[in-house]
A and B are shown apart, each in its own frame.
Chain A
C-alpha cells in the first residue's frame, strides 16, 4: 500500500472472496494432521459417518481423535485467534497507536494472576479458567475506574499509563506465586499456563468461552463505524456529535470480554493481538468496517496454523506462546523498519 494513493475495489473483492475459502482449507488441513495417524480414508469415513448419522463402521479411536480432540482444538484456535485479533484491532484504533496490543490495560496480567492463584490453591481446571476470566476482567475494570478519576488533558495516555502500572503490579503478584509454588507439581503447571497453549482444550471449554466471546464482539460489530471516529482527537469527536469517553468505555468492555474469555482457555498467547491486526490494516486499510472482518479471519487462520505447527512439528508440544513470539517478533521488527508515515 505504500505510495499508492487509492484502494482498488477489484483487489478487495478478490480478498473478500478468497479469505474465507483459505480459512476453510486451513481448518480442514488442521483436522487432517496430528500425532495420531489418521489416513485420509479414515477421515473421509468418519465425516461421512457423522453426516449420515451412521457412525457404526467408524473405529472408536478415529472418532475420538477427530471429534473429541482435534475438532475442539481447532474450533478453540479459531475463536481465540479471532478474538485476540479483533480486540487488538479495536485497541489500536481506540488508542490511536498501531503498536498497541490487548494486554495494554492489564487483561493478560490479571488473567495470569487469576489462573496462577487457582493453580496455587489446587483448584480444579474449570475454576482456574473462571478465575482467569474474572482476573482479566477485574484488572481492566480497575484500571479504567482509576483512570476515570484522573482528569487530565489526554485521557488515552492516562489509561495506558494506568494499564502499565497495573500490569507491573499484577506481574509481581504472579512472580510471587511462582516462588511460593511447589516446584514439582504447581510450578510446571503455572509455567505452561503462562506460555499459552490449546493442549487440553475440550469441547466444553470452547462452549464455556463462547458466550463471553460473542457478547464482547457485539459492541465491536455494532459500533464499527463509530470506532473510526476515535482516531481523531477527543474534541473533534465531540464536535462530530459523539461522546468519546462513553464510546471508548463500551468498546474497551467488549474487547476485554473477548480477550478475557479467550485467555481463560488458551492461557497467555502473545503477539496475535499486536501483529495480526497490523497486517490486516496493511491489507484492507484502517476503516473498521473492513478491518474487523479482516482481523477476525486473519487471526483465526494464524492461530489455527500456529497451533497445528505446535502440535505436529516436534515430538513434544511446543507452547503456543513461544511459536507466536518467534513469528511475531521478527515480523514486528520488519514492520517497524519499513518506517511508514501512516499506518
Chain B
C-alpha cells in the first residue's frame, strides 16, 4: 500500500479558491476594500503632497537663495524711530562677506488711483523709496513693464508691487498710466512679480530714491537694508550686523533671514503632514477592522463550503490558506486602489498648484506593504477559525 503523500496546491488554485468570496459577493468585497483604500490613499496623498510642496519650496529656496539678510529699525516703545542711521547702508557694505546691499526707505506718502479718491482710502499700500539694486538683491522679477534705471529713478515714476498693482487697477503697463502719489502724478513703468522673500513689498508702490528726495522730500534714511552675504558667512554677518548698523543702540536693530520664514513654513507643513498621516492610519485601522469583520462573517456564512472542501480533501492548512489569502487579496486590492487614488490626488493638486508632482517610492511601497500587513493581521483569526471548524459540524450547519 502506497503511503499517502502530501499534495500541494498550485499558486493558481490557491488564488482561485481565495476569490470564491469575491465572485459570489462582489459588492461586499468592494465595500470592505474601500476602507483600506481610503486609508492608503490618505497616506500616499499626504506624503506625495508634502514631498511635492517640499520640493517646490526647495526649488524656491534654491532660486531665491538663503543668503539674504534684512536689517530694519525696530519700531515701538523704546525701540527707536523706525529709521536706521543714514550711513547704515554704507557701513553694512563694508562688512567683509557682504556681496550687495539695497536700501529701502519708507516714504511718508500715500498712493491712489486718481486724485479724486478720498485720502483715507489708501488701500493699505505703502510708498517705498528704493535703490536700483533692489530687484537684483531680492532675486525678484518684473511681470510687466520695466524696473528702474538710473534715469527713471530720478523722475516721478513708480514700479508697483503685485498686490498694489491689483488694488490700483493696473492690469497692464502702458507707459502712460499714472497714479496719484504724494499729491502728484507718478507714471507706472512696471509691475513686479510676487516677492517671496519680502512679501510686504508686494503691497508697496516703489519709487527711485533720487525721485523720493526730489519730489517728496524724503530724507533717504533707510527703514530697511537688504543684504546679500557670501553663503558660508551668513551667521557671522548676522552676529555683527546690529552693532555695525547702529553702534550706539544695537538693540534698536532687527536682523532677519527671510528664508528662515520659508523653512519655518515647511516645519509647520511637516506638523500638518504628521497629523494627516495619523488620520490616514486611523482610516487604515478602521479599514483593517472592516476586513476582519467581513472575513469573520464570511467564515460563518460559508461553513457549508468549508465542510464541502474538507470532504473534498482540503487539509486544515489549505482551508486556513484560502481565507488568509482572501483577506490578503482584499487588502491588496484596497491598497493598490488607495495608492492609485493617492497618486491621482497628488498629481491633480500638484498640477493645480503648478508644483512638480513627486511621490516618494517609499510611500508607494510602504502603502502596499501596510495594506498587505493589514490583510494578514485581519485574516489570521478568521482563517484559524475556518481551519478549526470540524467538517461534520460545518456540513451539518448547511
Q: Do A and B come from one complex?
A: no
Point out residues on B near A: beta carbons under 8 Å: none
Point out residues on A near B: beta carbons under 8 Å: none
